[in-house]
Amino acid sequence: GTKTQKDLEEERPKLGKFSILSNMDDDPEIIYGMYKMREEVEQAFDAMKNELENDKAYLHTTDGIRGYFFLSFISLYIYFRILETLKAKDMSPKISVK
């Protein structure tokens, strides 16, 4: 469910802390946003490998490789659109994309 600001403040002492060391001069919120995007990319690769079982490509031609990655991209797009829809309708605990 959705948490309120009050809920988050009550949970704050239980939450862990971590540091990000960066040589970037950007605002810390921007750097944190970039870190979170990295996590989303890792989730996409994990879904591609495990959910879509898309980690075994034995291709030898440039066209074959391009087609493989095109279909992988389309598969990931569809997978995450379905997942997004399930979460928006609060159905993800009951139904999986698989």
Residues 37-73: tens digit of each pLDDT: 888 888 888 887 787 777 667 778 889 888 888 988 8
Q: Give the model's pLDDT for residue 55.
A: 67
Q: What is the mean predicted confidence (pLDDT) over 28-41?
A: 85
Q: How confident is the model at residue 1 (pLDDT cuts 50, 70, 90)?
A: low
Q: Give the start-to-end residue ranges of the domains of the chain.
A: 5-88
Q: State residue 72 phi and psi, 5-degree precision.
A: -65, -45
Q: Model pTM?
A: 0.51
Mean pLDDT of the chain: 84
* DSSP string for residues in 46-73: HIIIIIS--------SHHHHHHHHHHHH
* φ, ψ of residue 27 in degrees (nearest 5): -60, 140
